Structure 1
Amino acid sequence: MVVVGRMKLGSQGLNVSRQGLGCMGMSMLYGPPKPEPDMINLIHHAIASGVTLFDTSDMYGPHTNEILLGKALQGGVREKVEVATKFGINLDGGNFEIRGEPAYVRAACEGSLKRLGIDCIDLYYQHRIDTRVPIEVTIGELKKLVQEGKIKYIGLSEASASTIRRAHAVHPITAVQLEWSLWSRDVEEDVIPTCRELGIGIVAYSPLGRGFFSSGPKLAETLTDYDFRKMVPRFQPENLAQNALIFERVNEMANRKGCTTSQLALAWLHHQGPDVCPIPGTTKVENFDQNIGALSVKLTREEMTELESYAAADAVKGDRYASTAGTWRESETPPLASWKGE
């Protein structure tokens, strides 16, 4: 039995399991929605296994993932977990819009509380940064929600170092969620050092390279028309052959270590420091069990360096998104003095 254990996330008092569970794939983007009873069973299994941090968003579905998690938390389960959800990507009406104005922040929070069936969100992230609204304005409204007891801690997702600093000056940021894995390491240059300087926890999403380090290049052959990874450059044929070499090398080391490639990729992140919490997603109990097994994999500094050499920046072919819009590289907002109100 793997002991998941607990960790401090950030400097404001939030404690979570050392590994969380990303819930997005249960409801959207990675194929059609999965059967609700199976997903509730998976969430309950995760809690019984010691995982307590559950990551969702109002855009997953949209809305249906929060409803699903809310159902799973009924019956006295709520007190055992930390709920993290997000706002900022508005898909209502079929349009894609990033929003961060105060009225929208408040309305989004109220909607998430209702769908989750809870009276306070443990960790509330701005999912993407609205570049039309000064970050100070958005965080200012979140600060009010903290004061009102509707959220406990504030987080940012896909935010640049300068955006993080500006936000943190208004109210302490507890966690920054970012894509970090063996083949997505650009955040190591500036974003992660900034988080560490400010005492902000790091939550790594897509820690398995959107399933690549679980299934390898064969994953591309199984993607349905409902799966957005069909559009991700790294999974395109012109890039996949080169990226397959990365998987082969990681797989070779995993065989030597007596673990799976996914466990090795997750262990690499766990060894980055006690402030890092990966949130791999899955829809299968057996995959979940395999993922938490990563906590038992020990790596030497030499093995870490070897792993990193396999997936050096020049070895990875293709961007991590079909478009870079909405990532931390495009998260700068106007100065506060320019804000004229909603």
Structure 2
Amino acid sequence: MSVQINDKISYGTMSLTWKPQPMSPDEVADMIHYVVSKYGIKFLNGGEFYGPDSANLKGFQRYFEKYNSPKNKELIVSIKGAADVNTLQPDGSKESVDRSIKNVLAHFPLENRPKILFETARVDQRVPIETTLSYINEYVHQGLLSGISLSETSGKTVLKALKVANISCVELELSFFTRDIVEDGVLKVCSENNIPIIAYSPVGRGMLTDYAVEHADELYETTRKDIRSWMDRFSEENYRANIAACKKLYDFAHDVKKTSLEALALSWILKVSEAKNLWGIEKVCKIIPIPSGSTKEKVDLNFGHLVELTDAEFEELEKIYQSTTLKGSRANEHMIKNMLV
């Protein structure tokens, strides 16, 4: 059985620890508590390699220790792992999967333990996906894991995976200007098989935010210090043009919907989720965006100002999309090799 995810919107924790100065375990715990308690979030997403020395996992561990409650058993935590910590390349070997899962489980207290999903960070093209999933399935059958997720898989790989395992969800990048999953066909495959998509980077890695448009210079300087500096869209030659493109959405958000750009970007995904007769798909699968937010203020901007989009407004936004092109790919030449595999 796959794990059912009921959230409309959920929380990603990468920005808390994968940065030059990771937040402390206590700070991570407090942020998770804020999101769970204020917004009723039940699904949380993290990564074994999100920061040095299992910093992300230590944050989760501290949360479940500091805020121990029977209600924590209602939570679902999906963790990416099985990546080489030095090269960040996926490693789907048994040795890697075993090491990673054991490390993940060691950070979650047994008392009031949440449901834990495990996903390999991308697909190791040296190992058949069916083989890697068989290693993870051993832990599911033992009751140590609740289920399996996939990460940056193509439609073809999802179909292969379904033959050997129950798949609870697939984590894929989706935002207003990043629609690779439509072109690849994985959105259609997930929709036809009723598999939820966990949409990471739903605000374009910070580009689809009020702050980006209003403080473009400051954001650019910040990106020089984190993983966005590796990405084509944030390169010096592309960044300014892309922020100008985002200004069109910013104007729509503020002038038409009286909300923030990030809230509009997230609301657009919620409109796509379970939509009928869209992009050649009879009914789109459930899509759950996982914005992050390393401060209460950022979390509130993401979660507190969502709006309903009418069909007419959605069409207006599609016209903006069709007339606008961001410069550069969503990653870089090296990273893209492990995306939608």
Relative to the length of structure 1, the TM-score reads 0.86
**Preserved contact between residue 88 and residue 127 of structure 1 (Cα < 8 Å):** yes
Give the whole-Å Cα distance in 2 for the aligned partners of 1:21 and 1:177.
13
**Alignment-mate amino acid for residue 101 of structure 2:** C
Match of 1:339 in 2: none
C-alpha distance 281-241 of structure 1, shift in aligned 2 (>3 A):
same
2:204 to 180, 202, 209: 209
2:287 is the counterpart of 1:276: yes
1:111 Cα deviation (Å)?
A: 0.8
> Counterpart of 2:319 in 1: which secondary structure?
helix
> Counterpart of 1:149 in 2: which secondary structure?
coil
> Counterpart of 1:90 in 2: which secondary structure?
coil
Match of 1:71 in 2: 62
Match of 1:248 in 2: 247
1:43 Cα deviation (Å)?
A: 1.0
Match of 1:335 in 2: none
Match of 1:15 in 2: 5
2:320 is the counterpart of 1:310: yes
C-alpha distance 236-225 of structure 1, shift in aligned 2 (>3 A):
closer
Match of 2:257 in 1: 257
Deviations 1:75-109 (A, max 9, x none): 22632421111122120xx3433200123212211
Give the whole-Å Cα distance in 2 for the aligned partners of 1:52 and 1:313.
37
> Counterpart of 1:328 in 2: which secondary structure?
coil
C-alpha distance 298-314 of structure 1, shift in aligned 2 (>3 A):
closer
C-alpha distance 307-314 of structure 1, shift in aligned 2 (>3 A):
closer
Q: How does 1:1-342 map to 2 (within 5 A)?
A: 12-29=2-19, 31-49=20-38, 50-62=40-52, 63-74=54-65, 75-76=68-69, 78-91=72-85, 94-118=86-110, 121-189=115-183, 190-214=185-209, 215-217=211-213, 218=216, 220-223=219-222, 225-255=224-254, 256-274=256-274, 275-295=286-306, 297-312=307-322, 315-323=325-333, 324-329=335-340, 331=341
C-alpha distance 35-87 of structure 1, shift in aligned 2 (>3 A):
closer
**Preserved contact between residue 129 and residue 159 of structure 1 (Cα < 8 Å):** yes
List gaps (5 residues or longer) in structure 1.
1-10, 332-342
Give the whole-Å Cα distance in 2 for the aligned partners of 1:152 and 1:186.
29
**Alignment-mate amino acid for residue 106 of structure 1:** D
**Alignment-mate amino acid for residue 58 of structure 2:** I
> Counterpart of 2:204 in 1: which secondary structure?
coil
1:153 Cα deviation (Å)?
A: 1.5
1:314 Cα deviation (Å)?
A: 6.0
Give the whole-Å Cα distance in 1 for the aligned partners of 2:320 and 2:134.
43
**Preserved contact between residue 75 and residue 115 of structure 2 (Cα < 8 Å):** no
**Alignment-mate amino acid for residue 318 of structure 1:** G
Give the whole-Å Cα distance in 2 for the aligned partners of 1:120 and 1:45.
17
How many aligned positions are there? 316
> Counterpart of 1:281 in 2: which secondary structure?
coil
**Alignment-mate amino acid for residue 280 of structure 1:** P
Give the whole-Å Cα distance in 2 for the aligned partners of 1:151 and 1:82.
11
> Counterpart of 1:98 in 2: which secondary structure?
coil
> Counterpart of 2:208 in 1: which secondary structure?
helix
Query: After alignment, is 235-244 or 189-198 more displaced?
Result: 235-244
**Preserved contact between residue 267 and residue 309 of structure 2 (Cα < 8 Å):** yes
Give the whole-Å Cα distance in 2 for the aligned partners of 1:225 and 1:316.
19
Deviations 1:53-85 (A, max 9, x none): 111111112411011111111222632421111
**Preserved contact between residue 220 and residue 230 of structure 1 (Cα < 8 Å):** no
Paired-residue identity, %: 27
Q: Which has the higher contact order (CA 8 A, sep 6+)?
A: 1
Give the whole-Å Cα distance in 1 for the aligned partners of 2:243 and 2:234.
10
C-alpha distance 245-312 of structure 1, shift in aligned 2 (>3 A):
farther
Query: What is the Cα-based RMSD across aligned positions, in Å?
Result: 2.0
Give the whole-Å Cα distance in 2 for the aligned partners of 1:216 and 1:128.
28
**Alignment-mate amino acid for residue 290 of structure 1:** L
List gaps (5 residues or longer) in structure 2.
275-285
Relative to the length of structure 2, the TM-score reads 0.86
C-alpha distance 148-129 of structure 1, shift in aligned 2 (>3 A):
same
